[in-house]
């Protein structure tokens, strides 16, 4: 199985309070995003998700977390990226985001 780093995302919460920058305690560590080819295993259900495999042309983006809808199409397309996403306190609204596409990733 081939695994390569595709990019990273930095979700931040706290935009509902009008913070210019969300407080550090509400800021999560950057999440590396990995791309894997040749996966043949069955996905396992967790408390957070009931995962399923989809053909790349049929990924149900509208059923995903709001920030995933932005960065995941770039991962599926084979692009590298880095992004920061500011979400409402409840995580339901994407207040703003910045993404760099085609960047070198470590």
Q: Which one, of 11, 44, 36, lies nearest residue 26 by Cα?
A: 11
Better-predicted residue by pLDDT, 12 or 23: 12
Residue 45 lies in a domain: no
Residue 77 maps to a domain: yes
Q: Residue 93 belongs to a domain with what CATH number?
A: 3.90.79.10
The radius of gyration of the chain from alpha carbons, rounded to an integer in Å, stands at 15
Q: How far apart are CA 38 and CA 82, in angstroms?
A: 24
Q: Which residues pair with 83 in a beta bridge?
A: 9, 99
pLDDT at 45 over 80: yes
Higher pLDDT, 73 or 105: 73
What local confidence, expressed as pLDDT, does residue 69 receive?
93
Residues 67-92: pLDDT tens digits? Answer: 989 988 998 888 888 888 888 888 88
**Band (27; pLDDT cuts 50, 70, 90):** very low
Say how many domains are in the chain.
1
Q: Is residue 55 part of a domain?
A: no
Model pLDDT, residue 50: 85
What is the spatial distance between Cα 24 and Cα 36, in angstroms, rounded to a whole number? 31
Beta strands in the chain (DSSP E): 2-13, 31-37, 81-87, 94-101
Q: Which of 62, 57, 102 is nearest to 82 (CA)?
A: 102
In a domain, 17, yes or no: yes
* Any domain includes 58: no
**% of the chain residues with pLDDT over 90:** 9
**Is the pLDDT confidence value at 17 over 80?**
no
């Amino acid at each position: 199985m081939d695994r390569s780093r595709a990019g990273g995302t930095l979700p931040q919460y706290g935009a509902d309070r009008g913070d210019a920058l969300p407080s550090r305690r509400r800021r999560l560590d950057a999440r590396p995003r990995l791309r894997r080819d040749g996966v043949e295993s069955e996905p396992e259900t967790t408390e957070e998700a009931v995962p399923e495999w989809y053909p790349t042309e049929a990924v149900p983006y509208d059923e995903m977390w709001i920030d995933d809808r932005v960065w995941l199409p770039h991962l599926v397309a084979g692009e590298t990226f880095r992004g920061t996403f500011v979400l409402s306190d409840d995580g339901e609204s994407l207040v703003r985001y910045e993404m760099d596409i085609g960047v070198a990733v470590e």
